[in-house]
């Protein structure tokens, strides 16, 4: 009888010890964006339990029976059994395909993430309502992956994670579009004064908080290597000339970043690219000597140059790297059943046909990009593709069209034909790029969920990477600080 009572007492103590760990982890499972995971059963075995808020009531029940063992003693005894713990961390980004889904109109959600007139740094080309757009439904669409959810923007958490770091976007004006979005998302979340600066002849833009030592920068390099588009305000649009191996001119300004986000696509859509062979100017001139090659071959060659630079100059243990997918350019309304010669002008609804693909996006370029990133990964350099290509295909409604700051007045011909004068390449803010950034941040600062096995009983908990780590020894400090 005494042996049985002793066994029962030991079981109650063990249950109490474990419940402390379970209480802390279990509380995190109530977060709304994990609702799909909270319903997951570990297995049909009766010894297996799923963490829910019932853990809290279990803790209260044990406390009410007089099991008031001190917190420190409980922590010590729990971790005396560390050899019985098996921890298998996995990321939400590994268990959820964020890029396969649909757009859902939701005017009750947290979108838009900010108000246009409350973001003082917003670029005029993207401030659509400031420049005459009357409708706002384009701001209220939520991207819903199939079968799962991605973490919604938590400004306070992201600011805490960015302290002491430099986040740098590198690429063309669509990457600047995304940088503008990130600035506006962070603006109200970063306490204190913020400032916007321009350096390097308007090639490097920097958004900075000195109080928090946070830098969110954008570097203009539309073709990554040296090109005739290197001047952000004075460049040719009717041809492309590049130095295929000349990347250091730009890349020397990237090496100190903690997080690098690349893109290059729009400038490669002309069918012929000029490869400069001699010392002549990329801006043209009588002494230019070049080869002409097709754009797909040139795109592949430049990604090879970029890959060599990444492999040589970036330490993956110190720098996280990402590459944004291609983005849609809705310049042909016939793609979605519109009339010939019409574009995205006056469009107010997304395309709702699953798998829709507009004619201006070349899937071969996406395959070239994916192949380049696979080769880098085989060399130990992980550059994560943020594959926003499909989700942008549907959003023909989200472009500035004529509602943007104009560098020069529209001509009479353009006024007569606003369809052709419309910008169907960039994106109104707030809008679609805010979702890109939510997806990007889910990879930069991933949420982890951890399966813990204690004495044969499986417990599933969700851990913020900012809080618990995968090592249970880190939990002792956290539990010791917890008021139970």
- Domains contained in the chain, CATH given: 2-81+455-481 (no CATH), 101-444 (3.40.50.1110)
Can you tell me whether residue 126 is helix, strand or coil? helix
- The whole-angstrom separation of Cα 13 and Cα 18 is 9
Query: Which of these ranges, 16-25, 414-423, 439-448, has the smallest mean pLDDT?
Result: 16-25
How much is the average pLDDT of 17-30? 43
Q: Strand 383-386 vs strand 320-324: parallel, antiparallel, or unpaired?
A: parallel
Handedness of CA 285, 286, 289, 292 (dihedral sign): positive
Percentage of residues in the chain having pLDDT higher than 70 = 73
SS3 (DSSP) at 229:
coil
Residue 92's closest CA among 155, 162, 145, 24? 145
| The pLDDT of residue 92 | 65
Q: Is 171 left (phi over 0), alpha (psi -120 to 50) or beta?
A: left
Report percent pLDDT > 90 for the chain: 61
pLDDT tens, residue by residue, 83-126:
333 444 456 667 789 999 999 999 887 899 999 999 999 999 99
H helices of 245-347, in order, are 248-251, 295-313
**C-alpha radius of gyration, the chain, whole number:** 27
Q: What dihedral angle (degrees, nearest 10) is formed by the CA atoms of 457, 461, 467, 471?
A: 30
Residue among 223, 379, 253 nearest 316 (CA): 379
Beta strand pairing call for 214-220 and 166-171: parallel
Q: Report the range of poorest mean pLDDT among 56-65, 72-81, 105-114.
A: 56-65
Rounded CA gap, 204 and 199, in Å? 5
Degrees to nearest 5, angle at CA 230 with 225 and 235: 135
DSSP character at residue 216: E
pLDDT tens for residues 221-254? 999 999 999 998 877 678 999 999 999 999 999 9
**What confidence tens digit (pLDDT) does each residue in 424-433 have?**
999 999 999 9
Upper half-sphere CA count for residue 46 (Cβ side, 13 Å) = 0
Residue scoring higher pLDDT (423 or 474): 423
**What's the mean pLDDT in 428-442?**
98
State how far the Cα of 426 lies from the Cα of 176, in Å rounded to an integer: 10
* CA nearest neighbour of 423 among 328, 331, 325: 331
Q: What pLDDT, in 10s, does the model give residues 286-326? A: 778 999 999 999 999 999 999 999 999 999 999 999 999 99
**16 within 8 A of 69, measured Cβ to Cβ:** yes
DSSP alpha helices (H): ranges in 81-153? 92-95
Question: Can you tell me the distance from the alpha carbon of 363 to that of 328, in angstroms, rounded to the nearest whole number?
Answer: 11
Query: What residues are labeled active site?
Result: 173, 423, 426
Question: What's the rounded Cα separation, in Å, for the pair 162 and 216?
Answer: 9
């Amino acid at each position: 009888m005494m042996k049985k009572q002793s066994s029962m007492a030991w079981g109650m103590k063990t249950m109490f010890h474990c419940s402390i760990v379970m209480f802390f982890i279990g509380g995190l499972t109530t977060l709304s964006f994990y609702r799909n995971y909270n319903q997951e059963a570990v297995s049909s075995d009766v010894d297996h339990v799923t963490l829910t808020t019932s853990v809290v009531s279990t803790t209260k029940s044990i406390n009410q029976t007089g099991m008031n063992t001190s917190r420190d003693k409980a922590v010590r005894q729990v971790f005396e059994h560390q050899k019985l713990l098996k921890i298998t961390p996995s990321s939400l980004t590994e268990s959820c395909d964020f890029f396969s889904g649909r757009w859902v109109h939701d005017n009750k959600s947290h979108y838009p993430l900010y108000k246009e007139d409350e973001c003082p740094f917003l670029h005029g080309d993207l401030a659509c309502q400031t420049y005459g757009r009357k409708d706002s439904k384009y701001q209220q669409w939520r991207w819903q992956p199939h079968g799962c959810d991605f973490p919604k923007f938590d400004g306070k958490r992201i600011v805490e994670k960015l302290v002491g770091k430099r986040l740098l976007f590198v690429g063309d004006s669509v990457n600047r579009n995304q940088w503008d979005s990130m600035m506006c998302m962070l603006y109200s979340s970063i306490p204190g004064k913020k400032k916007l600066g321009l350096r390097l002849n308007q090639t490097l833009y920097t958004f900075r908080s000195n109080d928090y030592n946070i830098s969110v920068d954008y570097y203009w390099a539309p073709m990554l290597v040296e090109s005739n588009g290197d001047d952000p305000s004075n460049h040719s649009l009717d041809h492309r000339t590049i130095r295929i191996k000349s990347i250091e001119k730009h890349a020397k300004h990237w090496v100190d970043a903690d997080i690098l986000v690349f893109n290059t696509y729009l400038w490669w859509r002309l069918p012929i690219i000029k490869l400069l062979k001699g010392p002549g100017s990329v801006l043209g001139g009588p002494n230019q000597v070049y080869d002409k090659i097709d754009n797909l071959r040139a795109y592949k060659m430049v990604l090879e140059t970029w890959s060599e630079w990444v492999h040589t100059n970036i330490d993956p243990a110190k720098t996280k790297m990402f590459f944004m997918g291609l983005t849609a350019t809705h310049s042909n309304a016939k793609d979605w059943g519109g009339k010939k010669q019409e574009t995205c002008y006056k469009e107010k609804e997304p395309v709702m046909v699953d798998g829709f693909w507009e004619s201006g996006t070349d899937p071969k370029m996406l395959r070239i990009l994916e192949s380049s990133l696979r080769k880098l990964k085989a060399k130990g350099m992980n550059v994560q593709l943020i594959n926003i290509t499909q989700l942008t295909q549907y959003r023909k409604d989200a472009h500035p069209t004529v509602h943007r700051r104009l560098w020069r007045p529209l001509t009479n011909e353009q006024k007569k034909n606003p369809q052709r004068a419309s910008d169907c390449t960039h994106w109104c803010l707030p809008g679609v790029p805010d979702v890109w950034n939510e997806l990007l941040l889910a990879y930069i600062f991933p949420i982890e969920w951890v399966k813990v096995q204690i004495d044969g009983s499986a417990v599933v908990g969700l851990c913020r990477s900012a809080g618990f780590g995968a090592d249970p020894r880190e939990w002792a400090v956290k539990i010791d600080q917890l008021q139970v």
